[in-house]
């Protein structure tokens, strides 16, 4: 009775979570359909089990055996959710369907009596446990690699630290529950296989229910996590004004210089290194001065050669400097310099008599579109949002 009540209660909390996600759709065009699908499937299953066993309804009966295998769809859905969370694409690719092929295969071999008697089930019913275990482990590894490479250990992501931490903490929180839930599910299947009962994944239901309650309540308490990484910053601007002191972001050039490179160098570069080793600090200081004081990058065609000519040194010296002594490329350095220049002009009142398009051309951009993209990448805010909140502050 208690277990049935927990099923029903969890399904109700899930339905409330679904309502929150659906009602926020218009204000959040990037909301993740895979997370919604996961919660709909889980809530529906829990509702069937809870309401049927409590006698509230009789027309939807819980299924055991092969039909329960179809609920494994949640596993690739979680991977696709994380993938969409990180990369934030509006469109969903038909290629994503490949992640569900194994589930169909598993369902077919469990429903076809001839296949159940074939070599596939040489080890008997334990075969299902092995196949499902490998399947779950495979996706846990995929998810871990995706999140670790794109969120957990990524330091140069172009988004506010506060907002990025929110997504990072949410992904760690959810992945931890994924791991714990997977362990409980595998333990449940193992018990069912050993007892020779039909697969349902319910043997460890109380533990699995707790994991889902943690997920549902986390979303209800912090609905901003629904928005994904790229759009989260813009969405939270409605509630949290941006920190308009952009020095922390834009002074990163100093942090990007490397006095002692660790990269492997070819013979020619090693010879060049011996020639200019004592001048590295001087080159860096002069390039910073050219960038921020003389605004050399207002020239749309500014290149290695222009800097070399200004310093009176061979172009190869500047190429070498950015190749081995800078953690960002020359084009990235130029972009950061131009955006810092534009912010300085804004502070000086340039936009009181000029447009954003004029500011884009003034700072060396070929048109407004690349200026807009660069401004948002460097500051994490669009030019309009930056001006809006700068005015409010």
Position 204 confidence tier, pLDDT thresholds 50, 70, 90: confident
DSSP 199: P
Residue 248's pLDDT is 45
Share of the chain above pLDDT 70, in %: 80
If DSSP codes are grouped into helix, strand and coil, which group holds residue 326? strand
Residues present in the chain in total: 393
Determine the Cα–Cα distance for residues 37 and 99; give it in Å rounded to an integer: 15
DSSP 257: B
CA dihedral defined by 164, 166, 172, 173, rounded to 10 degrees?
Answer: -170
Cβ distance 231 to 30 under 8 Å?
yes
Cβ distance 46 to 11 under 8 Å?
yes
Per-residue pLDDT at 195 exceeds 90: no
**How high is the mean pLDDT of the chain?**
80
Determine the Cα–Cα distance for residues 229 and 158; give it in Å rounded to an integer: 10
Which of 313, 256, 326, 327 shows the shortest CA–CA distance to 279? 313
Position 145 confidence tier, pLDDT thresholds 50, 70, 90: very high
Q: Which ranges in the chain belong to alpha helices (H)?
A: 2-23, 33-53, 66-69, 74-87, 101-111, 113-116, 126-147, 161-194, 205-221, 229-236, 247-250, 252-256, 267-276, 280-292, 304-311, 315-324, 330-347, 356-362, 368-379, 383-392
pLDDT tens profile 271-300: 777 778 778 888 888 898 898 889 999 999
Determine the Cα–Cα distance for residues 269 and 252; give it in Å rounded to an integer: 26
Determine the Cα–Cα distance for residues 189 and 197; give it in Å rounded to an integer: 10
Which of 140, 141, 149 shows the shortest CA–CA distance to 74? 140
Cβ distance 365 to 338 under 8 Å?
yes
pLDDT tens profile 46-74: 898 888 888 888 787 777 667 788 888 99
- Tokens 């999140």 belong to which residue? 147
**pTM of the predicted model as reported, rounded to 2 decimal places:** 0.58
Q: In the numeric block, which tokens belong to residue 84? A: 């969409």
From first CA to last CA, the distance across the chain in angstroms is 57
Cβ distance 15 to 43 under 8 Å?
yes
Residue 39's pLDDT is 92
pLDDT tens profile 236-259: 444 444 444 444 444 444 567 777
**Cα torsion 350, 311, 308, 337: sign:** negative
Alpha carbon separation from 196 to 65, 67, 126 (Å, rounded) = 11, 17, 9
Q: What angle do CA 255, 256, 260 make, to 5 degrees?
A: 100
């Amino acid at each position: 009775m208690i277990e049935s009540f927990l099923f029903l209660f969890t399904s109700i909390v899930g339905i409330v979570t679904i309502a929150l996600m659906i009602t926020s759709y218009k204000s959040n065009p990037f909301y993740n359909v895979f997370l919604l699908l996961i919660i709909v499937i889980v809530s529906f299953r829990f509702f069937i089990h809870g309401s049927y066993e409590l006698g509230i309804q009789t027309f939807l009966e819980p299924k055991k055996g092969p039909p329960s295998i179809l609920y494994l769809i949640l596993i690739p859905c979680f991977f696709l959710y994380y993938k969409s969370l990180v990369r934030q694409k509006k469109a969903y690719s038909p290629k994503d369907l490949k992640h569900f092929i194994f589930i169909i295969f598993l369902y077919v071999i469990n429903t076809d009596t001839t296949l159940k008697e074939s070599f596939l089930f040489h080890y008997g019913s334990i075969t299902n446990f092995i196949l499902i275990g490998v399947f779950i482990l495979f996706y846990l590894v995929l998810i871990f690699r995706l999140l670790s490479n794109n969120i957990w250990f990524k330091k140069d992501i172009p988004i506010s630290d506060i907002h990025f931490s929110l997504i990072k903490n949410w992904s760690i929180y959810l992945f931890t529950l994924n791991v714990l839930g997977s362990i409980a599910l595998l333990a449940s299947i193992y018990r069912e296989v050993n007892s020779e009962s039909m697969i349902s994944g319910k043997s460890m239901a109380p533990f699995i229910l707790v994991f889902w309650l943690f997920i549902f309540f986390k979303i209800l308490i912090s609905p901003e996590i629904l928005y994904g990484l790229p759009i989260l910053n813009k969405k939270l601007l409605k509630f949290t004004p941006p920190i308009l002191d952009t020095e922390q972001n834009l002074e990163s050039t100093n942090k990007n210089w490397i006095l002692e490179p660790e990269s492997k160098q070819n013979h020619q570069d090693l010879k060049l290194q011996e020639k200019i080793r004592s001048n590295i600090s001087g080159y860096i200081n002069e390039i910073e001065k050219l960038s921020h004081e003389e605004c050399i990058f207002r020239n749309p065609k500014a290149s290695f050669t222009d800097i070399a000519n200004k310093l009176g040194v061979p172009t190869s010296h500047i190429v070498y400097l950015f190749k081995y002594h800078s953690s960002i490329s020359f084009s990235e350095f130029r972009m950061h310099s131009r955006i810092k220049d534009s912010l300085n002009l804004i502070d000086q009142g340039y936009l009181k008599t000029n447009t954003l398009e004029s500011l884009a051309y003034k700072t060396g951009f070929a048109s407004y579109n690349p200026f807009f993209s660069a401004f948002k990448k460097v500051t994490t805010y669009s030019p309009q949002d930056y001006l809006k909140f700068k005015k409010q502050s």
